[in-house]
Amino acid sequence: MDRLPINWANIVQHSREGIALLREGRIIWANERLCTIAGQECDSLLGQLFFDLVTDEYRDLFLKEQEQILAGHEPSRPWDIRLQRPQAHAWVEIRLFVPDTADPSLLAVTLINVTVRHAAIEKVKRLNNRLQSILHSMHDVVISLDVDDNSIISINPAAEILYGVPLRTLTNGTDEDILAFVYPEDEARVRTFYKELSNEEYGKIEYRIIHSDERVRWVRDEGYLVQCTAESGQRIDHVIRDITEQRKAAMELYRSEQRYRDFFYSTKDMAFCITPEGAFLDINDAGVVMLGFPDKQEALKSQVYPFFENPSIGDEILSELDTRGFVANKHVSLRTIANQSLEVDITARAKKDDRGNLLYYEGIATNITQSMENQRNRVLRHAAGGMCHHLNTHLMHIQNAQEGILEELQDVEQNLTQTNKEVYENLLSYTQDIGYATEKISKVTKAFNSTFLTYKEEPYLNQAIADIFHNCQDSETSEPQS
């Protein structure tokens, strides 16, 4: 085959690599690509020391490599340096070698612009530093495990707090060093979780661990199978969070709800939950009976507002619940399904979510009908007792005056004339009438005193009044004639 003529100079000029020839460190020839990378015109580059194109931090390295190549050492492996340019500096991959020519003082330089690659590397470094900063500030433990030998690839400082051991004792360990902290009763299922995670690809589990100070802590462990680059294959990441306080709070909430539920259904008062529109969400058996519903299902179909005797009171309670969030000991009159009037004492609160949105109202209504009736009876007894006290005082004065008149009449009776005797008899008759009236009033006051000192608290006063007047009935004695 005939040898084809090849224009090597043209090929070199259009190469994507920057190529230059140096003699005694100065550029004696450069292709267009090198001029572009250096950011200068080719004419201005010729005669310059290549050393001057290199940034300060890489000049010593460049000079050392240049001397070694010219001294007959093997061509250098490519390495990265920065070139000074009129605008932004450029990262280049550089390689030095002695070209195969008759002039041993020549040195060839090849450059590849890797600025974009370095920018990407710097971005990855910044992201990695940011990620490391986030991992180091996290309260959750983040562990990366090798899929093949279960060795710990990385672990963040939060492990020191969770397990109570120095981080260095775990950095070069395996998953066995993590499993060693698992509570004995939970160990079997945790090992199964770790073993099956490579097949499941994702999973989570809650279990107990034993801190180095022997305190038991609850954790939530979430595992992920991560697909990496071909060189590193796969890894498993675990995010382990201490949920001890959260679990305690959940248990306390559960116990509180149980106590509330027990109280809700065992109290003899009416316990209720209603929507903001007034529909019953829940009501206990005592409330069903109090309002006269046939059963709970019927109650849950009903509204609470029709049971208020005075609708404005219901509006007032709602307004107070909305503004203050609660009402306490609110006296309300209700009317049952059977049209029976009830007096109740209501304590309620508005239940809201974390954002402050109203969910429902819940409260207790205590039937105080009989206690209010008893209170009115006590007031009446006290009033009746006071009245009797005042009446008895005046009756005593009248009785004393009557007795005085009778004594005076008896003293003058024998010295009276016929006319005076008629006056005497009239006065005596009037005195007897006064005595009769005094005796009747005295019986009433004695009956009131006797009744209200010994009478039990009854829900209705009518019978008590009837008993009083029954005790005051005359025993068929006729009134004295005047």
Reduced to 3 states, what is the DSSP secondary structure of residue 316?
Answer: helix
For the chain, the structural domain boundaries read: 9-119, 138-248, 267-367, 372-471
CA angle 236, 238, 239 (to 5 degrees): 150
Helix, strand or coil for residue 231?
Answer: coil
Task: Kindly report, residue by residue over 440-458, the tens digit of the pLDDT.
Answer: 777 777 776 666 655 454 4
Backbone angles phi, psi at 285, to 5 degrees: -60, -35
Name the 3-class secondary structure at 474: coil
The bridge status of strand 234-242 relative to strand 141-146 is: antiparallel
Taking only the tens place, the pLDDT of each residue in 119-175 is 888 888 888 778 777 767 778 999 999 988 999 998 999 999 999 999 999 988 999
Tokens representing 359 are 């969910």
pLDDT in tens, 351-374: 888 888 888 898 888 888 877 777
Contact 270, 283 (CB under 8 A): yes
**CA 220 – CA 218 distance, rounded (Å):** 7
Residue with the two structure tokens 């920065």:
82
Q: Does domain 267-367 have CATH number 3.30.450.20?
A: yes
- What CA–CA distances, in Å, run from 460 to 107, 289, 368, 373, 456? 124, 22, 14, 7, 11
Contact 283, 264 (CB under 8 A): no
pLDDT above 80 (res 421)? no
Per-residue confidence (pLDDT) for residue 1, from 0 to 100 = 37
User: 438 with 395: CB under 8 angstroms?
Assistant: yes
SS3 201: coil
What CATH topology corresponds to 138-248?
A: Beta-Lactamase (3.30.450)
pLDDT in tens, 377-395: 676 666 666 666 666 776 7
Q: Are both 9-119 and 138-248 of the same fold?
A: yes
Strand order in the sheet with 341-352: 280-283, 270-274, 358-367, 341-352, 326-335
**Using the 8-state DSSP alphabet, how is residue 181 labeled?**
T
With H, G, I as helix, E, B as strand and everything else as coil, classify residue 440: helix
Q: Could you tell me where the beta strands, DSSP code E, fall in 315-448?
A: 326-335, 341-352, 358-367
Each residue's pLDDT tens digit, 256-302 = 777 667 677 778 888 888 998 889 988 988 889 999 999 989 989 99
Q: What is the pLDDT of residue 475?
A: 42
3 state DSSP class of 325? coil
DSSP for 106-142 reads EEEEEEEE-HHHHHHHHHHHHHHHHHHHHHHH-SSEE
191 falls in which pLDDT band (50, 70, 90)?
very high
Of 269, 240, 55, 275, the closest CA to residue 158 belongs to 240
Tokens of 366: 């205590």
Which letter does DSSP use for residue 214 in this model? Answer: S
CATH 3.30.450.20 describes domain 9-119: yes
pLDDT tier at 2, thresholds 50, 70, 90: very low
